[in-house]
């Protein structure tokens, strides 16, 4: 997949649960995070940071703690999305949600797939990553080039079901 942009990016992004072994080049990772950091946040606090994990043994340990994401063990990279609860106590969950989506879209622009892992043993992974009390582990996102075919789009609600105008 070549670099894509705009509406095509939004309409073609899929949750990818199978990754080939091809490593992600460092310059591409840097570009992904450069694009990701421009995400909006409440009061521009940017309460996030990213832990990029390439150590295969640690990836396997973390993947074992992901109830809905054992496929993460295949990925060449895991990214822990971590927020600072102190600098943004009221909005860190929102900001981390936004930046996680931005990470997924930024990766997809380079043909790199990912999937939000929502059910995992937060306490165990928190310890594995040596996070502090002020850190909130939002998710771990596997990143990798898709293996096999890209999933077909799932049905979407109609415009009329989603949008109501009040004039």
Task: List pLDDT tens digits, range 18-49.
Answer: 999 899 999 999 999 999 999 999 999 999 99
- Identify the pLDDT of residue 43: 96
pLDDT band (50, 70, 90) for residue 5: low
Rounded distance, CA 60 to CA 131, Å?
18
Tens digits of per-residue pLDDT, 105-156?
999 999 999 999 999 999 999 999 999 999 999 999 999 999 999 999 999 9
The Cβ of residue 51 has, within 10 Å, a number of other Cβ atoms equal to 15
Q: Which two tokens stand for residue 6?
A: 């705009």
Q: What is residue 1's predicted lDDT score, i.e. its pLDDT?
A: 46
pLDDT band at 6 (very low <50, low <70, confident <90, very high): confident
User: Please, what are the domains in the chain?
Assistant: 15-143 (3.40.109.10)
User: pLDDT class for 7, splitting at 50, 70, 90?
Assistant: confident
Proportion of the chain above pLDDT 90, given as a percent: 89
Helix (H) or strand (E) holding 82: strand 77-84
Q: How far apart are CA 5 and CA 134, in angstroms?
A: 36
Residue 79: strand pairing partners: 52, 141
Residue, of 138 and 5, whose pLDDT is higher: 138
Q: How many residues in the chain?
A: 167
């Amino acid at each position: 997949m070549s670099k894509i942009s705009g509406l095509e990016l939004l309409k073609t992004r899929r949750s990818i649960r199978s990754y080939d072994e091809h490593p992600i080049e460092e310059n591409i990772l840097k570009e992904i995070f450069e694009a990701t950091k421009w995400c909006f946040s409440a009061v521009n606090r940017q309460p996030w940071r990213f832990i990029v994990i390439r150590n295969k043994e640690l990836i396997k340990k973390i993947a074992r703690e992901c109830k809905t994401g054992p496929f993460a063990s295949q990925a060449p990279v895991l990214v822990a999305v971590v927020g600072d609860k102190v600098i943004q106590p009221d909005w860190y969950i929102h900001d981390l949600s936004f930046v996680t989506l931005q990470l997924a879209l930024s990766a997809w622009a380079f043909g790199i797939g990912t999937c939000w892992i929502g059910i995992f043993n937060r306490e165990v992974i928190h310890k594995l990553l040596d996070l502090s009390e002020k850190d909130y582990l939002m998710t771990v996102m596997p990143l990798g080039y898709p293996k096999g075919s890209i999933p077909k789009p799932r049905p979407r609600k109609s415009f009329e079901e989603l949008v109501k105008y009040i004039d």
